[in-house]
Amino acid sequence: MPDTVLDRGLSVCPSPIGTRERIVLGHGSGGRLSANLVHDLFLPLFSNPVLDRLDDQAILEIDGARLAFTTDSFVVRPLFFPGGDIGSLAVHGTINDLAMGGATPLYLSAGFIVEEGFPIESLRRIAASMGGAAAAAGVAIVTGDTKVVERGKGDGVFINTSGIGRVPSGIDLSSNRARPRDIVILSGTVGDHGMAIMSSREGLEFESTIVSDSASLHQLVAEMLGVSRGIRCLRDPTRGGLSGTLNEIAAQSQVSIEVEESRIPIREEVRAACELLGLDPLYVANEGKLVAIVAPEDADLLLAAMRRHPLGECAAIIGEVGKKYAGLVSVRTAFGSSRILDLLPGEQLPRIC
Amino acid sequence: MKYCDEYRDPQIAQAIAGRIANATTRPWVLMEVCGGQTHTLMRYGIGDLLPDSIELVHGPGCPVCVTPLELIDQAIRLAAIPGVTLASFGDMLRVPGSSTDLFDVRAGGADVRVVYSPLDALKIARDNPERQVVFFAVGFETTAPANAMAVWQAHHEGIANFSMLVSHVLVPPAMRLILQSPSNRVQGFIGPGHVCSIMGFGEYHDIAREFGVPIVIGGFEPLDLLEAISMLVAQLEEGRAEVENQYSRSVEYDGNLPAQNMMRTVFSVVNRKWRGIGEIEESGLVLRDEYAAYDAQRRFGLESLEVREPAECISALVLQGQKKPVDCAAFGKRCTPMTPLGAPMVSTEGACAAWYQYKRHDLQHA
């Protein structure tokens, strides 16, 4: 017998790596590393009551008007993918961040960081797509900026959009408002955007192409607000997926959330692609879905309203808010057992939005 | 989803679980060998369906977990050499070396890439003749043939800028080590389905006979595992110690002969160190002399590193099924997937990481 650790009566383990000294891709993944960056680095330096709510948008009171203000940057690769491109995504993403505050989106900015050598024709296609998406959503792109970086210092084109919207009076949606017994509604299938990107990047081919769900959700939100004031919180599960969003809500409201795995709608081709690549669809990004935490008495009314809208036709009640373990999200499996749905420690999919 | 949902049916699962409960008259300790099996057991909460008298313990079969720290440090060193591209499977990048990990080296400017196949790494070498491309080859018998194929192809195509950092390990020697230990508790094994798809299961008969332990080669879906447990319980209750094949849709007695030939052509068997366990005789693979030119350790003159690992975690005992992750004082406190202290916490297939990810609420509030 060789000399094993057991024979020597020792056990072995490596020393831990402490706080990272530089940024890794996982810091942009929407998982635990991203959360740490926000909480440990940015928040202490920027802290103020508006920011500290940590919602997808800031809600500002200016001379009696309530405005929603948000910003988002887009670094997706490939730039063009089934169901959209970086241009339409940049419009939808920022509109959705406004809509999740219950706001009517009004104006957008567009900032471009373009790499030297990037084809003008591609930039024209992207801009046309942005213009089209904005017009379809009824918002105007009213200011912008362009910077060019040396070849090799960018990746084609990066886009930042900021947006302003008006919040109707009486609307107060926030991730810290979830209460025990509230109902969790999901507006449709999860994982479509992330897997559309992954399968075009990895060259995966299925019987049917996976198409991104990139879409503006403000009209769906308007329908929902039209039928009920029992909505506590709306979030769009982008980076970090459904899991990331539910974890943020659970943490900020200091509640637990339990979802029923069999009730979460997932397309067959998305499930298959996730199986192949070893990914969990609950962690994969979406760009045209929302999670609503609603008062139990209004859940059926809201579900029916959502299903009447094309972007909510697959909406489903997927779970309930509880109080047993504050900050914890769990999944009840089809087998009747329960498991934790945690934040990802690092990246699952790099650069997907 | 075809070929998956059939093996995830909750009603059939309940039926098999009922059968297991009826058949069980005494306590039994069963070990699943593979990390993939551990992950399924935890993800679906299979343990919750079983009678209390059946204890599942997790085996050493997570290749990422048992890759020695020295090898990870060597990979990190290689990646930092200008002109080198280091490629590996995604999970390997997260594994901490003694002072840093491959993600961090990448953030510092190194070219580190995630690939889904060693042949993708070979393609990178073919497309970038000015770079030295190193594939970090980890895994059990399952991944060995494809890795062997990449070296074989490089040799036959004359791709001189490709090499491999090999850390391959073999399952049967690890099972023997577990069974030889005086403190062994394992009474039956769920055998490694994918390893056996390649190797067949002839070599497991000797283990079953020698140690009087039943082995059921099992698959990776919930119903596969429940059925394998049911078959093991039946053997144990009847006093049998045989090798049976639950995963017959994938595993044949002789395995995949062309794949075995490719492995034997390129690799030979050596003693190898397992992280958390130590050196196990004839438990690893190394490139044969004919292919030694593709050995990254030789090409880059990497001297063998001696890394001292401080003694806090109990991974050696966890990997051999003698302790559960929750028996460790550091579990979930000083040791989490963000700050892994030991091998089984570093990969999602590791026993500690699977417990942490899926089950820690049971512990906090037990």
Q: What is the mean pLDDT of residues B116-142?
A: 94
Mean pLDDT lowest among A33-37, A243-247, B217-221, B246-250: A33-37
Where do the structural domains in chain A lie, given as residue ranges? 56-166, 183-340
Residue A22 in this model has a pLDDT that exceeds 70: yes
Residue A1 in this model has a pLDDT that exceeds 70: no
* Chain A contacts in chain B segment 120-149 (CB below 8 A): none
Residue A151 or B335, more confident: A151
Q: A9: nearest CA in chain B?
A: B316
* Chain A contacts in chain B segment 13-42 (CB below 8 A): 13-14, 42
Interface probe with B: pick from A29, A329, A335, A347, most Cβ of B within 10 Å: A335
Residue A204 in this model has a pLDDT that exceeds 80: no
Q: Which CATH superfamily is domain A56-166 in?
A: PurM-like, N-terminal domain (3.30.1330.10)
Which residues in chain A have their CB less than 8 angstroms from residue B10's CB?
334-336
Q: A334: nearest CA in chain B?
A: B10
pLDDT tens digits, one per residue of B153-196:
999 999 999 999 999 999 999 999 999 999 999 999 999 999 99
Percent of chain B with pLDDT over 70: 96
pLDDT at A352: 36
Q: Over chain A, what is the mean pLDDT?
A: 89
Is residue B337 less than 8 Å (CB to CB) from chain A? yes
User: Do the domains at A56-166 and A183-340 have one common CATH topology?
Assistant: no
- Residue A126 · residue A87 · CB < 8 Å: yes
pLDDT at B117: 87
pLDDT band of B65, cuts 50, 70, 90: confident
Question: Rounded to a whole number, what is the distance in Å from the CA of A4 to chain B's nearest CA?
Answer: 5
Contact A272 B1 (CB under 8 A): yes
Contact A14 B44 (CB under 8 A): no
pLDDT at A304: 98
Residue B128 in this model has a pLDDT that exceeds 80: yes
pLDDT band of B282, cuts 50, 70, 90: very high
Which residues are paired to A104 by β-bridges? A166
pLDDT tens digits, one per residue of A303-318:
999 999 999 999 999 9
Q: Name the residue among A60, A137, A61, A51 with its Cα closest to residue A93.
A: A137
Expressed in angstroms, the distance from the first to the final Cα of chain A is 54
Q: Name the residue among B13, B49, B341 with its Cβ closest to that of A13.
A: B341
pLDDT at A28: 84
In order of their start, the domains of chain B are: 11-63+171-241 (3.40.50.11750), 65-170+255-299 (3.40.50.11740), 328-364 (no CATH)
Which residues in chain B have their CB less than 8 angstroms from residue A267's CB?
none
pLDDT at B56: 92
pLDDT at A347: 60
pLDDT at B9: 93
Mean pLDDT lowest among A197-201, B51-55, B70-74: A197-201
Residue B311 or B223, more confident: B223
Q: Name the residue among A17, A22, A340 with its Cβ closest to that of B361.
A: A340
pLDDT band of A21, cuts 50, 70, 90: confident
Phi, psi of A243 (to 5 degrees): -60, -45
CB atoms within 10 A of CB B76: 22
Mean pLDDT lowest among A233-242, B82-91, B266-275, B341-350: B341-350
pLDDT tens digits, one per residue of A179-197:
999 999 999 999 999 999 9
Q: Write the secondary structure of chain B as one string of H (helix), E (strand) and C (coil).
A: CCCCHHHCCHHHHHHHHHHHHHHCCCCEEEEEEEHHHHHHHHHCCHHHHCCCCEEEEEEEECHHHHCCHHHHHHHHHHHCCCCEEEEECHHHHHCCCCCCCHHHHHHCCCEEEECCCHHHHHHHHHHCCCCEEEEEEEECCCCHHHHHHHHHHHHHHCCCCEEEEEEEECHHHHHHHHHHCCCCCCCEEEEEHHHHHHHCCHHHHHHHHHHCCCEEEECCCHHHHHHHHHHHHHHHHHCCCCEEECCCCCCCCCCCHHHHHHHHHHEEEEEEEECCCEEEEEEEEEECHHHHHHEHHHHCCCCCCCCCCCCCCCHHHHHCCCCCHHHCCCECCCEECCECCCHHHCCCCCHHHHHHHHHHHHHHCC
Interface probe with A: pick from B358, B359, B362, most Cβ of A within 10 Å: B358
pLDDT band of B309, cuts 50, 70, 90: low
Question: Rounded to a whole number, what is the distance in Å from the CA of A180 to chain B's nearest CA?
Answer: 18
Which residues in chain A have their CB less than 8 angstroms from residue B340's CB?
14, 16
Q: Name the residue among A241, A127, A219 with its Cα closest to residue A165.
A: A219
Question: Rounded to a whole number, what is the distance in Å from the CA of B235 to chain A's nearest CA?
Answer: 26
Cβ neighbors of A1 (< 8 A, separation 6 or more) are A7, B180, B281
How far does Cα A100 stand from its chain's mean position? 11
Element (H, E) at A53: none
Contact B45 A25 (CB under 8 A): no
Provide the CATH topology of domain A183-340: Phosphoribosyl-aminoimidazole Synthetase; Chain A, domain 2 (3.90.650)
Q: A331: nearest CA in chain B?
A: B358
Contact A5 B361 (CB under 8 A): no
Question: Rounded to a whole number, what is the distance in Å from the CA of A190 to chain B's nearest CA?
Answer: 16
Q: Name the residue among A4, A268, A345 with its Cβ closest to that of B278.
A: A4
pLDDT at A207: 66
Residue A326: C-alpha distances to residues A236, A258, A283 (Å):
22, 11, 21
Residue A51 in this model has a pLDDT that exceeds 60: yes
Question: Rounded to a whole number, what is the distance in Å from the CA of B14 to chain A's nearest CA?
Answer: 8
Cβ neighbors of A326 (< 8 A, separation 6 or more) are A250, A254, A255, A256
pLDDT band of A9, cuts 50, 70, 90: very low
Q: What is the mean pLDDT of residues A130-153?
A: 97
Which residues in chain A have their CB less than 8 angstroms from residue B45's CB?
333, 335-339
Contact B311 A32 (CB under 8 A): no
pLDDT at A137: 97
Which residues in chain B have their CB less than 8 angstroms from residue A21's CB?
104
Percent of chain A with pLDDT over 90: 75
Contact B342 A23 (CB under 8 A): no
Question: Rounded to a whole number, what is the distance in Å from the CA of B310 to chain A's nearest CA?
Answer: 6
pLDDT at A5: 31
Percent of chain A with pLDDT over 70: 91
pLDDT at B187: 98
Residue B39 in this model has a pLDDT that exceeds 70: yes
pLDDT at A221: 98
Q: What is the mean pLDDT of residues A328-348?
A: 83
Q: B103: nearest CA in chain A?
A: A24
Question: Rounded to a whole number, what is the distance in Å from the CA of B125 to chain A's nearest CA?
Answer: 18
pLDDT tens digits, one per residue of A56-100:
999 999 998 999 999 999 999 999 999 999 999 999 999 999 999
Which residues in chain B have their CB less than 8 angstroms from residue A10's CB?
311, 316
Contact A13 B312 (CB under 8 A): yes
pLDDT at A83: 95
Q: Over chain B, what is the mean pLDDT?
A: 91
Which residues are paired to A109 by β-bridges? A143, A162
Interface probe with B: pick from A1, A3, A4, most Cβ of B within 10 Å: A4
Q: Name the residue among A246, A248, A267, A251 with its Cα closest to residue A320.
A: A246
pLDDT at B69: 85
pTM of the predicted protein model: 0.86
- Hunting for tokens 């997570």 — which residue is that? B62
Which residues in chain B have their CB less than 8 angstroms from residue A333's CB?
43-45
What is the spatial distance between Cα B213 and Cα B210, in angstroms, rounded to a whole number? 8
What is the spatial distance between Cα B190 and Cα B228, in angstroms, rounded to a whole number? 6
Residue B363: C-alpha distances to residues B325, B350, B357 (Å):
11, 18, 12
